[in-house]
Amino acid sequence: MARSLDDIPPERRPRHIAVIMDGNGRWAQRQNLPRIEGHRRGVASVRRTVEECARLGLEQLTLYCLSSENWKRPQLEIDFLMHLLEQYMIEERSTIMRQNIQVATIGRREGISDGALREMDTTIAMSAGNTGTRLCLAINYGGRGEIVDAVRKICGEFHNGNLPADSISEQTVAAHLFTAGMPDPDMLIRTAGEMRISNFLLWQISYAEIWVTDRCWPEFDEDDLHAAIRDFAGRDRKFGGLSDGGFG
């Protein structure tokens, strides 16, 4: 598959891609490897995808790293995921700075290891002034929990007299989500063939184009990313209105 997307005009490309990185464990099982090896190989796919999105000038890439439901997994696996997160934040700093990537996170901080939090905060602060692609990592994230937290904040402002009830709008809700100030995703990619949203960005993906591949996340590479973008460019996005035409 050709790696170039030069024939696709910038206005036909997604500004913001969100990814449900699924299938690390299944990939490992197929290779007769332990599940944690799938997570380790998945980091290589993260690296490839982030670097290619930065090269393409994508405004934002949001990766579903750890859901609020993933705490049900064996403690050994959770500990390894925390180790990988901490290690990634340290090892990728030079690449993040060289490629002008700004790092952000969404989700609740409770439960994340002290070491991972420390390195996350360091990398976020270090890259805050970068102006290229924003890499947003969803860690201990759940879409329903995010909306609950937003409602609690809005209720607090209402009870304090700072927010009249009749002024609450969709913009008000959006401004109280973890993703406040970020564009909504134009495209949602899911690997490993699953046809589920899995409690990811429930508010934000209202009009996102969904693209699913049977390939597990450790197999996902630049050509898969290009295929998704090319498919996106050919879709007719109506947003409830009339056709805007497609590409190709």
Which residue in 32, 70, 79, 244 is the catalytic one?
70
22 given a catalytic annotation:
yes
> In whole angstroms, how far apart are CA 178 and each of 54, 116, 184?
23, 19, 12
Q: Which two tokens stand for residue 45?
A: 């796919």
In 3D, which of 13, 37, 14, 15 has the Cα closest to residue 27?
37
Distance of CA 149 to the CA centre of its chain: 19
Query: With contact defined as beta carbons under 8 Å apart, do 92 and 122 qualify?
Result: no
CA distance 102 to 106: 14
Burial class (CB in 10 A: 0-12, 13-18, 19+), 198: middle
199 given a catalytic annotation:
no
In 3D, which of 25, 130, 16 has the Cα closest to residue 63?
16
Which residue in 6, 7, 22, 223 is the catalytic one?
22
Amino acid occupying residue 105: T
Distance of CA 58 to the CA centre of its chain: 13
Q: Which residues pair with 189 in a beta bridge?
A: 19, 211
What are the φ/ψ torsions at residue 44 (nearest 5 degrees)? -65, -35
Residues identified as active-site: 22, 70
